[in-house]
């Protein structure tokens, strides 16, 4: 069964700085990868997804991620963060006919 | 309409109460999910209804009982809950199983006294 590891539980960063949130997965078959964002006391909102095709995926709010099959990674990046990007970010993976598995989450805190 | 709605937003109940959480989507999705999320943790899958067929996470206690009256509605019936069941309960839907993105509702914040 698939699994996903988010390597950083907390990432503090200053406003307008670049950020990378790391995600690695393990699976023996083809996978589908997602990044979700959760603001306090809210549900999860999809930032971006990789199903097939181009390995560089662009999402909402200026985020992008790159699927790297050889390194089994799907890291999330943003070139310049805003205070409003402060939230919990979850990487998720699924295989065909399998349930979605979430990573433990990364708390991104953007400081002024 | 690309929204999943959940009611109520907040619920406080005693350990002897019976209550229900409701979830609704009008996107024509045929898979709906219940997740439990504790503070600072990822969502944990409880139940899946896919084409109105139920799949259960074996670790979920029987005091949680899902119901899918039709393809747009999903209920979670609660009975004799414990304080450790206090959490954010999230509903989600997807168009065709997990390989497509899941759309999440805002959640119900449940407190069991």
Interface contact flag, A99 B103, Cβ < 8 Å: no
> Of all residues in chain A, what percent carry a pLDDT higher than 70?
97
What are the C-alpha distances in Å from A95 to residues A27, A100, B70, B79, B98?
Answer: 8, 8, 26, 34, 8
Q: What angle do CA A55, A59, A63 make, to 5 degrees?
A: 95
Nearest CA in chain B to A98: B98
Measured CB to CB, residues of chain B less than 8 Å from chain A are 4, 6, 40-43, 45, 48, 88, 90, 92, 97-99, 101-107, 109
Please state the rounded mean pLDDT for residues A5-13: 96
pLDDT at B53: 85
| Binary contact (A105, B40; C-beta < 8 A) | yes
CA distances from B112 to A6, B17, B92 (A): 31, 9, 23
Residue B1's pLDDT band (cuts 50, 70, 90): low
What the block records as the tokens of A104 is 């433990």
* pLDDT for the residue A50: 93
Contact B42 A105 (CB under 8 A): yes
Is residue A91 within 8 A of residue A23, CB to CB? The reply is: yes
Q: What is the pLDDT of residues A15-28, one digit of tens each?
A: 999 999 999 999 87
* pLDDT, mean of residues A65-84: 96
Mean pLDDT within B19-38:
94
Average pLDDT over residues A73-85: 97
| CA gap B20, A109 in Å, rounded | 35
Q: State the burial class of residue A64 (Cβ atoms within 10 Å of its Cβ: 0-12, 13-18, 19+).
A: middle
Mean pLDDT of B21-37: 93
Find, among A39, A5, A100, the residue nearest to B88 by Cα. Answer: A39
Mean pLDDT of B100-105: 88
pLDDT band at B98 (very low <50, low <70, confident <90, very high): low
pLDDT score, position B101: 85
Q: Does A49 touch chain B (CB under 8 A)?
A: yes
pLDDT in tens, B40-93: 899 999 999 988 788 888 889 999 999 999 889 999 999 999 999 999 999 999
Mutation target for A interface from B29, B48, B101, B110: give the one with most A CBs within 10 A. B101
- Chain A residue with minimum CA distance to B31: A99
Q: How confident is the model at residue B95 (pLDDT cuts 50, 70, 90)?
A: confident
Q: How many angstroms separate the Cα of A25 from the Cα of each of A92, A99, A102, B75?
A: 9, 14, 10, 32
**Residue B99, pLDDT above cutoff 70:** no
Which range is least confidently modeled, A39-43, A106-110, B86-90, B93-97? B93-97
């Amino acid at each position: 069964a698939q699994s996903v590891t988010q390597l950083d539980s907390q990432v503090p960063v200053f406003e307008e700085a670049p950020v990378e949130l790391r995600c690695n997965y393990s699976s023996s078959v083809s996978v589908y990868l997602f990044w979700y964002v959760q603001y306090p006391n809210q549900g999860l909102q999809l930032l971006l997804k990789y199903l097939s095709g181009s390995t560089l995926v662009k999402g909402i709010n200026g985020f992008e991620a790159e699927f790297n099959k050889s390194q089994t990674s799907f890291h999330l990046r943003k070139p310049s963060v805003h205070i409003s990007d402060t939230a919990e970010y979850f990487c998720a993976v699924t295989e065909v006919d399998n349930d979605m598995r979430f990573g433990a989450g990364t708390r991104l805190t953007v400081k002024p | 309409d690309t929204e999943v709605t959940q009611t109520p937003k907040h619920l406080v109940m005693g350990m002897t109460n019976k209550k229900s959480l409701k979830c609704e989507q009008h996107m024509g999705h045929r898979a709906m999910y219940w997740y439990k999320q504790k503070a600072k943790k990822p969502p944990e899958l409880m139940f899946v209804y896919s084409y109105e067929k139920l799949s259960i996470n074996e670790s979920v206690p029987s005091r949680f009982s899902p119901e899918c009256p039709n393809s747009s509605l999903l209920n979670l019936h609660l009975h004799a809950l414990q304080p450790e069941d206090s959490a954010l309960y999230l509903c989600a839907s997807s168009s065709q199983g997990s390989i497509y993105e899941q759309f999440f509702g805002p959640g119900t914040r449940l407190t069991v006294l």
